[in-house]
């Protein structure tokens, strides 16, 4: 029986390693959780959708050679889309694919927590999808606000989960997202 759920792996690409704000601090934990989510989805027949962000120039351009999966993540996606906007649902063809495949529930993961992952979550919710946001399978980097305060990646993730929870998505662990509607998680 085909799944009505899809896992979105958003912007998990080498391009980020070439940005000045990139830090390795949380990468190993992110890769472990992202890999567990991908492997769990595949073992349950949930299609894994890889999405790359692309731009005309720079490290997000196809010509850069960095629009590839962030190492050492292993992924064999059902389909790959390229996007030019923050929401993976704008201009990529993803929305058409989801509709054609009867997808009604989306699991969100990827890079950056507060940008493309959060934006896609809000957009998907507004379109009527049921959304599980798996914060532990998202990655971001510290940011400095207009007052000069640096927000840690953990603070940004907590803020993102706060504003999404019960409004746009269910905040879920890897295990919770994989178990929803699918019976007991092994």
Query: Which tokens is 99 given?
Result: 């509709």
pLDDT along the chain (186 residues), means of 10: 88 97 96 98 97 98 97 98 98 97 98 97 98 98 97 97 98 93 41
Among 150, 65, 169, CA closest to 109 = 169
CA distance 81 to 94: 7
CA distance 118 to 25: 21
Query: Which tokens is 21 given?
Result: 């704000």
CA distance 26 to 113: 12
């Amino acid at each position: 029986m085909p799944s009505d759920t899809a896992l979105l792996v958003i912007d998990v690409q080498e391009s980020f390693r070439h940005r000045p704000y990139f830090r390795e601090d949380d990468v190993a934990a992110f890769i472990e959780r992202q890999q567990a989510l991908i492997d769990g989805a595949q073992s349950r027949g949930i299609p894994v959708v890889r999405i790359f962000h692309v731009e005309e120039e720079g490290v997000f351009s196809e010509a850069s050679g960095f629009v590839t999966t962030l190492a050492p993540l292993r992924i064999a996606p059902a389909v790959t889309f390229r996007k030019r906007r923050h929401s993976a649902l704008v201009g990529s063809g993803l929305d058409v694919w989801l509709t054609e495949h009867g997808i009604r529930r989306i699991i969100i993961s990827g890079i950056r927590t507060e940008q493309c992952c959060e934006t896609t979550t809000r957009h998907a919710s507004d379109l009527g999808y049921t959304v599980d946001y798996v914060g532990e399978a998202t990655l971001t980097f510290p940011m400095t606000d207009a007052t000069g305060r640096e927000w840690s990646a953990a603070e940004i993730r907590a803020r993102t989960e706060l504003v999404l929870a019960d409004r746009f998505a269910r905040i879920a662990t890897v295990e919770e997202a994989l178990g929803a509607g699918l019976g007991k998680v092994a």
